[in-house]
Structure 1
Amino acid sequence: MSRPLFISLDGPKGVGKTTLLEAITKVLRADNKKVIRLCEKKSDPFRGETMALVNRLARNPAQDLELELEVCERFADSRAWISRHVLTKQPADSIILMDRWYPSDAAFRRMVPFAKILQLNIERNVRMPDLHIGVVTAPDISWARAAARTRGLSSTVIHKLEEHVACTREFEREIADHGWFLCRNEGTVEDATMQVISEIYKVL
């Protein structure tokens, strides 16, 4: 490979992305692959300022299209920065596993459609994943998993089950519309891991 293979795992809260990423990493490294684990929010130097806007938006009962669009633009700007300053610094023979690239509770906003968000990223030359994996479960499963965690759902913009259901359904539509690989993580972690590993080896 002339540059790292860039793989992103996205999905609603509680679907088990982090656990799945850990399992995928273990399998790939056991096969002597060089794996770089990254997290979008931890790589974003502008996260604090953007989240201040997200919090302001979440507290505002009236819908504010201008503010929501600004949030989406800032996230796209951050991904452009990560594309230039983080992704390009990784070894050419590595596999980058990114924990979220289009966060479902930030990307799938209430007013700005995902097609617009994707266009914002394209205009900024954000690197598109070589393999984009959408991880989903039935909403009641991921909601229960999130509720069982110490940190809970840990979402700024989603607080009710019906909001989580709507986010999950929207995410599934976008996976289908954009041809991302769908991983249903409702069984064992081992089963989901092998689904993803099989897909990764198809693009290596």
Structure 2
Amino acid sequence: MSGLRSHPRFVSLEGGEGAGKTTVLRALREALEADGSEVVSTREPGGTPLAEMIRALLLDPAHEPAAAETELLLMFAARAQHVRETIAPALARGAWVISDRFTDSSYAYQGAGRGLDVAAIAELERRYVGIEPALTLLLDLDVGQGRERTRGRDLVPDRIEAERDDFFERVRAGYLERARQAPARFRVIDATRPADVVAADAVRALLAARQAA
């Protein structure tokens, strides 16, 4: 991760479809707010009005299919805006930032999933993002179980949710490889368990990291 600045109050949540990131994010926010901390909870792609418009372009199945390279560049366009307009200002004023997905998702989805060059992703990250979380919580579960959890959640799945299982298997493997490469930053949490147990584990990991910072 050469050239990236790690910020101690920046936390990201990662994982495949159905991993329960929304429940965990809520628990993390409540744990930090309990001692009076300001918490900005956000998401990717998205997090600013312009980035949310890019999200709609990326995920709406009514649009023409995006080439893998187009998808990657749009993700980073949204991320650059997200960092400069939401994440960096929040950290500068002393707030905590918890993001539902960050750059690791590009390594997993566009890198492992789409087969794009990881070196190109790293260069985009270095040039246009420049920051990484101090803690990344990876909610890991089997692709089949994730599919079962999301079945019927949306009447029309978005463009990425509609991908085949082999795509999501590659994504999961990509995430686990990222965690293996950066063990000091990642905490892999077994997301096959009940949501309250997973959330409690995530909160413990966050509080331990905050104490150690």
TM-score where L is the length of structure 1: 0.78
The one of 140, 143, 159 equivalent to 2:144 is 140
1:101 equivalent in alignment to 2:97? no
Aligned to 2:115: 111
1:76 equivalent in alignment to 2:103? no
**Matched letter for residue 100 of structure 2:** D
3-state SS of paired residue (2:151): helix
Which ranges in structure 2 are unaligned for 5 or more consecutive residues?
1-6
Cα separation, 2, equivalents of 1:7 and 1:189 = 19
Alpha-carbon spacing, 1:143–1:198, altered in 2? closer, same or farther (3 Å): same
Higher mean displacement: 28-37 or 79-88:
28-37
What aligned pairs does 1:37-56 form with structure 2 within 5 A after superposition?
Answer: 37-44=41-48, 45-46=50-51, 48=53, 52=57, 56=64
Cα separation, 2, equivalents of 1:196 and 1:53 = 29
The one of 130, 137, 143 equivalent to 2:134 is 130
Give the aligned length: 194
Aligned to 1:185: 191
Residue 140 of structure 1 and its aligned partner are, at CA, apart by: 1.6
Cα separation, 2, equivalents of 1:109 and 1:139 = 13
3-state SS of paired residue (1:97): strand
3-state SS of paired residue (1:129): strand
Residue 116 of structure 1 and its aligned partner are, at CA, apart by: 3.0
3-state SS of paired residue (2:46): helix
RMSD over aligned CA atoms reads 2.8
Contact 1:105 1:155 in 2 (8 A): no
Alpha-carbon spacing, 1:88–1:4, altered in 2? closer, same or farther (3 Å): farther
Aligned to 2:166: 162
- 1:144-195 per-position Cα deviation (integer Å, ceiling 9, x unaligned): 1011424575443643233322322222222222332212211122322222
Aligned to 1:198: 204
Which ranges in structure 1 are unaligned for 5 or more consecutive residues?
59-66
Cα separation, 2, equivalents of 1:163 and 1:201 = 34
Cα separation, 2, equivalents of 1:193 and 1:157 = 23
Contact 2:113 2:174 in 1 (8 A): no
Contact 1:10 1:99 in 2 (8 A): yes
Contact 2:113 2:170 in 1 (8 A): no
- 1:104-127 per-position Cα deviation (integer Å, ceiling 9, x unaligned): 545544221444313311122432
Contact 1:79 1:126 in 2 (8 A): no
Residue 131 of structure 1 and its aligned partner are, at CA, apart by: 1.2
Alpha-carbon spacing, 1:202–1:49, altered in 2? closer, same or farther (3 Å): closer
**Matched letter for residue 26 of structure 1:** E
Aligned to 1:90: 90
Cα separation, 1, equivalents of 2:54 and 2:28 = 32
Contact 2:21 2:139 in 1 (8 A): yes
